[in-house]
Copies of this chain bind each other. A is one copy, B any other.
Amino acid sequence: MTRTDRSPGAASAATIPPYASAAAHPLDADTALEPLGDGSFRGRASKRYCNVGGSFGGFVSAIALKAALLHPKRLGEPIALTVNFAGPLADGELTVHARAARTNRSTQHWQMEVAQGGEVVATATAVFAVRRQTWSSTESEFPQAPPFDSVQPLAPGRATPWMGNYDMRFIRGTASAAARPEAPWDSVTTMWIRDNPPRPLDYVSLATICDAFFPRIYVRRPDIAPFGTTVSLTTYFHVDSEMMAAHGDRELLGTAKALQFRNGYCDQTAEIWTPAGELIAATHQTALFRI
Q: Which chain B residues lie closer than 8 Å to A131 at the CB level?
A: 263-265
State whether the Cβ of A113 lies closer than 8 Å to any Cβ in chain B: yes
Contacting A129 at CB < 8 Å: which of B87, B123, B265? B265
Chain A at the B interface: mostly helix, strand, loop or mixed?
Answer: strand
Chain A residues packing against B (C-beta within 8 Å): 1, 3, 8, 14, 79-80, 82, 84, 86-87, 101-102, 104, 107, 109, 111, 113, 119-120, 123-125, 127, 129, 131-140, 185-187, 220-221, 231-232, 234, 236, 238-240, 257-265, 267, 269, 271, 279, 282, 284, 286, 288-291
Are A109 and B120 in contact, CB atoms less than 8 angstroms apart?
yes
Q: Which chain B residues lie closer than 8 Å to A107 at the CB level?
A: 86, 231, 288
Return A234 CB to nearest CB of chain B, in Å: 4
Are B109 and A84 in contact, CB atoms less than 8 angstroms apart?
yes
Are B125 and A84 in contact, CB atoms less than 8 angstroms apart?
yes
Task: State the oligomeric state as a number of copies.
Answer: 2
The docked-state distance in angstroms from the alpha carbon of A220 to that of B1 is: 15
The docked-state distance in angstroms from the alpha carbon of A129 to that of B231 is: 10
Q: Which chain B residues lie closer than 8 Å to A140 at the CB level?
A: 259-260
Are B101 and A120 in contact, CB atoms less than 8 angstroms apart?
yes
Return A216 CB to nearest CB of chain B, in Å: 9
The docked-state distance in angstroms from the alpha carbon of A115 to that of B258 is: 35
> Which of A102, A239, A289 lies at the interface centre, i.e. has the most chain B CB atoms within 10 A of its CB?
A102
Q: Which chain B residues lie closer than 8 Å to A290 at the CB level?
A: 134
Q: Which chain B residues lie closer than 8 Å to A269 at the CB level?
A: 269, 282, 284
Return A241 CB to nearest CB of chain B, in Å: 12
The docked-state distance in angstroms from the alpha carbon of A138 to that of B282 is: 21
The docked-state distance in angstroms from the alpha carbon of A137 to that of B260 is: 6
